[in-house]
Amino acid sequence: MIDETRLIEIKGVSKSFGDTQVLHDIDLYIRKREFVTLLGPSGCGKTTLLRILGGFEMPSTGEVLFEGKDMTGIPPYKRRINTVFQKYALFNHLNVFDNIAFGLNLKTPEQLGCKSRAEMKQEVARRVNRMLKLVKMEGYEKRSTNALSGGQQQRIAIARALVNEPEVLLLDEPLGALDLKLRKEMQLELKAMQQQLGITFIYVTHDQEEALTMSDTIVVMNHGRIQQIGDPKGIYDEPRNAFVADFIGESNIIDGTMLQDDLVRFSDTEFQCVDEGFAKNEPVDVVIRPEDIMLVGEDVGMLRGVVESVIFKGVHYEMIIESNDCKWKVQSTTMQPVGTRVGMTIVPYNIHIMHKMPVLKEA
């Protein structure tokens, strides 16, 4: 599916607004037909990065290449990139049809492969109708945009951008204003659309689940810096630092000491692990996913503890287990009542060792 050619390359991009630096030396490339998600908490710089790609902001330093050519100074109206804005930004003085046709109507008949104005009018109608079908809004042509629900407005905003056949579609938290059920539906639809059209999508969200569902590649950002780039599974299974581990899914993050290659000590216990290359006795963050902790009999566990609380979460139970003054979050399909003494085991490859990240403490 994904073409290996690099469509967009972001090289050493930094951005400051006044005294605040919101992007620090970003390096990133985006391949053709890739679904890339910029993921991070609010204020992490993801929207600013998207706006730089759209041409609405200029980087303070660094450059953005499109198919190898510098496009840093190119204004938005000359980029083959279109944007779906967070609050839709539909034109209220135009009806649904004219909103979608807006970009096409700015073109000359020749650009649309037509010989005359009349022919162009038909071509525009054809393309708009195709888009309405794609976003499942046939029959809404003449409606006023004010009369549409949030979800419908979002579909029109997507159609309005896609009808221009952009190389890249930028989406700025497009589903943020929708309710949960609609959001889930739209996630799947958007992914299907992207695959069907073969367009590169760059998607900004703070919702980690959305990112995991839709993306080919996730770029996790925090404090204006890229924390990790990878595919959803890689990011989830192998978070590179404590921030990523904490932001993507749930994690137990504990202080530990790397005794030697493949051997770590935390919670007063030595564990086998699969991480190498750390300094002897280096203080590290140890990250363990709640679902990777197995509950066993008290006498056979590597750690022993007492169940402190239990919450039913639908598919599993979430328990807090206290052990050696340390609280562990554990997910399991079998419930242990509060007060039960249990043992816990963790297999070596589920123990993730991370360098302490002093830079993350700056906020």
Partner 1 sequence: MKNRGHRAGKLLKGLWLALVLAFLYIPIIVMIALSFNASVSRAAWTGFTLDWYVKLFKSKQIMAALNVTITVAVIATVVSTVMGTLGAIGMHAMSTGMANLLINVSYLPMTTPDIVTGVSLMLMFIFVKVPLGKWTMIMAHIAFDTPYVLFSVMPKLRQMNPNLYEAALDLGCHPAKALYKVIIPEIMPGIVTGALLAFTMSLDDFVISYFTSNTDQNLAMIVYSAARRGVEPTMYALSTLMFIVVLGLLLIVNRRNGLEEIA
Q: Under DSSP, is residue 310 helix (H, G, I), strand (E, B) or coil?
A: strand
Residue 312 found at the interface with partner 1 (CB under 8 A): no
Question: Toward partner 1, which CB reaches closer, 93 or 181?
Answer: 93
The strand pair at 252-260 and 282-288 is best described as antiparallel
Of the candidates 191, 187, 181, 132, the one whose C-alpha atom is nearest the C-alpha of residue 156 is 132
Helix (H) or strand (E) holding 105: helix 96-105
Cα 336 from Cα 184, distance rounded (Å): 32
**What's the half-sphere exposure (Cβ side, CA atoms, 13 Å) at 65?**
14
Binding residue (CB under 8 A) for partner 1 from 29, 85, 236, 317: 85
Cα 212 from Cα 218, distance rounded (Å): 8
Smallest gap, in angstroms, from Cβ of residue 263 to partner 1?
Answer: 54
What mask, x for binding partner 1 by CB under 8 A, covers residues 26 to 65? ----------------------------xxx---------
Residue 160 found at the interface with partner 1 (CB under 8 A): yes
Joined together, the tokens standing for residue 14 give: 């930094």
Binding residue (CB under 8 A) for partner 1 from 14, 86, 257, 331: 86
Binding residue (CB under 8 A) for partner 1 from 65, 74, 89, 253: 89
Cβ contacts of 104 within 8 Å, gap of 6 or more: 112, 123, 124, 127, 128, 163, 164
Smallest gap, in angstroms, from Cβ of residue 93 to partner 1?
Answer: 4
Question: Toward partner 1, which CB reaches closer, 111 or 309?
Answer: 111
Residue 77 found at the interface with partner 1 (CB under 8 A): yes
DSSP 278: P
Residue 164 found at the interface with partner 1 (CB under 8 A): yes
What mask, x for binding partner 1 by CB under 8 A, covers residues 98 to 117? ----xx--xx----------
Using CB under 8 A, list all residues that contact partner 1.
54-56, 75-77, 81-83, 85-89, 91-94, 102-103, 106-107, 160-161, 164
